[in-house]
Amino acid sequence: MTQDTLIAVIGGSGIYDIDGLDDASWTSVTSPWGAPSDQILTGRLNGVKMAFLPRHGRGHVHSPTDVPYRANIDALKRLGATDVISVSACGSFREAMAPGDFVIVDQFIDRTFARDKSFFSSGCVAHVSVAHPTCPRLGDACEAAARAAGINVHRGGTYLAMEGPQFSSVAESKIYREVWGCDVIGMTNMPEAKLAREAELCYASIAMVTDYDSWHPDHGAVDIAEIIATLHGNSDKARSLVKGLPARLGAERTACPHGCDRALDNAIMTAPDKRDPELLAKLDAVAGRVLG
């Protein structure tokens, strides 16, 4: 069974739109989980349906903690998204992952604590595996598109998600790097990746390195001016990468070979007669496949 591909891009700091869309328009999507970060830019790129959501809103109005993650993922699901590409700025814990490089993340450590992390709760309890939180098929497409665009890209890495909005202390940075073995650090991929999995969406994370956090003896503390300068260059690279995705993912797709689109199979624990009707109504897009 096939379905139309709809590639949804969630843009991070410095990326507030994408270029070259045919029939482009900003669309308002209503979600029972609140208002998304912004309207969603929809259109087609080389014949493939595309959607773009600026994570922080145009003008960067949402802090990492205040991004409406549940509304964003729900809104993309309602639009018919099949594949979600997350693009975000990050710091690096590895000398080889230098500012200007991209990292296709495959693991996360979640250190956030002030965010709603699940669509499910009392009244409809579900436990979804995020052992492998990103989709290798999407990762392959992102890697190929990055290399074709001439981007220095690293395949695989662990992303430490911190609450923010402040950057790390030197002590924290050294722990994340030397003790926990993390590769990059950012503030926005959690709970985004967890929610995408609950919504049965294939998800890939592209971390754009802007700095060396605060561990590096030759670079000192994070410098906002340097980050902004690197962001501008990274934004151009990210747009080039996105333009290469439709050809690699195609206008139609079959079931995900890694099961991302079937993540809710056997996940819902609450007995049918004990489920909260109000919560079920809010889950109509995210879990409609299994809730009927």
User: Which residues are known to be catalytic?
Assistant: 211, 213
Alpha carbons 280 and 283: distance in angstroms, whole number: 5
Cis peptide before 191 (omega within 30 of 0): yes
